[in-house]
Amino acid sequence: MPVLGTLDQLPALARGTAAELLVIAMPTANKAQMRRAVDLCESCHLPFRTVPRLEDVVAGRASFNELKEVAIEDLLGRDPVQLDWTAIRTQLAGQRVLITGGGGSIGAELCRQIARLGAESMTVFDMSEYNLYMIEQELRGAHPDLVFNAVLGDCTDAVACERVFASARPAIVFHAAAYKHVPLLQEQVREAFRNNVIGTEVVARAADRHGAGSFVLISTDKAVNPTSVMGACKRVAEIFCQNYASQSKTRFITVRFGNVLDSAGSVVPRFREQIRTGGPVTVTHPEITRYFMTIPEACQLILQAAVLGNGGEIFALDMGEPVRIRDLAEQMIRLAGKSSEGDIPIVYTGLRPGEKLFEELFHPHENYSDTTHAKIFLAQPRSMSWSILTAQLKQATAAVREYDEDTLRRVLVQLLPEFAAHERAPAAEVIPIGSRTA
């Protein structure tokens, strides 16, 4: 076929050839190149498709002869990370692995990757019957030789956890079970604390009693300078694991990262549904930003951090540049062949309780440092008196039993001085207004 010109000439060439469809055949393009190609395609006002990404073809998720619509993940996901797969496989192959919350977005992807790495057995502990059923069906079909156990239960149930650990005898535990929706949890302190803090403590203590070698806590950037109940509870879970590491032979490692693209209930599927139904697309604030990472990339870096950790660390993943949610909405509307000016309006609804204008990956006092992996940073732990911490958690456990949410808020304030200001402040003052420099 004759080559008619360069990418920059696309609009003129499309007009000159009376093109009806544009195909982006750049499977090895990085994200910046892909965004440029999409921008040029959009300027032609013609439908466009793309061949699959090379990593999707290699992983068996797509074939080269498929044409698909450009997804937001093609533009926001970042270039593939380079991992030490030899070290990861050495640590996981032939091991008994337990994953709590293994039916969720992150938990399920961890299951898939660990199964491919040759784990001896995998136990998934999840309180969602449907999610547990779906990941069980998927893994039994894809990995018929894997010893797989699906256990329905709640990680705050100490008796159930004891039974699971006694039966599975895991060498490695990935604790992904958590409640995550900030506005929903803001007025449900008991459930947030019960699941995100007490659930972590129950599973961590069971891991210690049953001699697990490693325990990996999946945390969030919302735990840094938390303004929300959800973030505060995840920060307390981090503190517990950091300090419990010195009391246990188990290696307790925390991995902290931001939003993942297309996770259940997150902004991308919500925008997609709003666009499908004709809008409007709702954004809380014109300047709100978030970090994004694809689910597979987040899970790969979790596995890498698990190999790096010796115990007591908090690893934060390099999330790249923050993305303005308004730009995300506009891009998704354009990818759907619509316009935000006439077809699908964007409506700003105001920041919700506990919601930040921008997220952070480190607290200023954590003095983060580089690791041997370019995409993973190490936050220096902030120690706390073990006796004070356990006394506060004992008080909180009693408050959960009695549904005493006032006491639970006091415990959060006492454990987290940085959260105290947000609890005292009126709602309008909770959110720090300003812009974050990349």
pLDDT (tens place) for every residue of the chain, 438 residues total: 889 999 999 999 999 999 999 999 887 787 788 889 999 998 998 889 888 766 666 656 666 667 878 877 777 766 666 788 898 999 999 999 999 999 999 999 999 999 999 999 999 999 999 999 999 999 999 999 999 999 999 999 999 999 999 999 999 999 999 999 999 999 999 999 999 999 999 999 999 999 999 999 999 989 988 999 999 999 999 999 999 999 999 999 999 988 887 676 678 889 989 999 998 999 999 999 888 888 888 899 999 999 998 888 899 888 778 889 998 899 889 888 888 887 899 999 998 888 888 877 666 555 677 787 878 888 876 678 999 999 999 999 999 999 999 999 999 999 998 887 776 543 333 333 233 332
| Domain CATH code at residue 44 | 3.40.50.720
Structural domain ending residue among the three candidates 46, 70, 94: 70
Q: What is the pLDDT of residue 294?
A: 83
Q: In which domain, by residue range, is 32 found?
A: 20-70
Q: What is the pLDDT of residue 429?
A: 32
SS3 308: helix
Residues 231 and 372 in one domain: yes
Residues 313 and 368 in one domain: yes
Query: Among positive and negative, which fits the CA dihedral 341, 342, 343, 347?
Result: positive
Residues 62 and 132 in one domain: no
Residues 170 and 36 in one domain: no
Q: Phi/psi at 383 (nearest 5 deg)? A: -75, 160
Structure tokens at 141: 């079909």
Q: Long-range contacts: 66-74, Cβ < 8 Å, 24+?
A: 67/23, 69/335, 70/24, 70/34, 70/38, 70/335, 71/335, 72/261, 72/268, 72/328, 72/331, 72/332, 72/335, 73/261, 73/262, 73/294, 74/31, 74/34, 74/38, 74/50
Q: Is the peptide bond before 280 cis (omega within 30 degrees of 0)?
A: yes
Residue 14 lies in a domain: no
Query: Which DSSP symbol is given to 171?
Result: S
Residues 136 and 238 in one domain: yes
- What's the distance, CA 166 to chain centroid? 29
How far is 256 from 234, CA to CA, in rounded Å?
10
How far is 263 from 269, CA to CA, in rounded Å?
8
How far is 268 from 338, CA to CA, in rounded Å?
16
Query: Among positive and negative, which fits the CA dihedral 202, 154, 224, 396?
Result: negative
Active-site residue, selected from the candidate residues 31, 68, 180, 222: 222
The question of whether 222 is a catalytic residue gets the answer yes
Q: What is the pLDDT of residue 265?
A: 65
How far is 127 from 155, CA to CA, in rounded Å?
8
Residue 99 lies in a domain: yes
Q: What is the pLDDT of residue 316?
A: 87
Structural domain ending residue among the three candidates 332, 348, 379: 379
Residue 227 lies in a domain: yes
Residues 252 and 143 in one domain: yes
Residues 229 and 95 in one domain: yes
* Total domains in the fold of the chain: 2
Closest residue by Cα to residue 170 from 212, 202, 112, 124: 212
Q: What is the pLDDT of residue 58?
A: 63
Q: What is the pLDDT of residues 289-317, one digit of tens each?
A: 888 888 888 899 999 999 998 888 899 88
Structure tokens at 347: 């409506």
Q: What is the pLDDT of residue 430?
A: 32
Residues 136 and 233 in one domain: yes
Residues 164 and 256 in one domain: yes
Q: What is the pLDDT of residue 117?
A: 93
Structure tokens at 288: 């709100």
Q: Do the beta carbons of residue 426 and residue 246 sit within 8 Å?
A: no
How far is 248 from 250, CA to CA, in rounded Å?
5
How far is 332 from 225, CA to CA, in rounded Å?
30
Residues 240 and 301 in one domain: yes
Mention every residue, 6+ apart, whose C-beta is less than 8 A from residue 254. Answer: 216, 217, 219, 238, 241, 242, 313, 314, 315
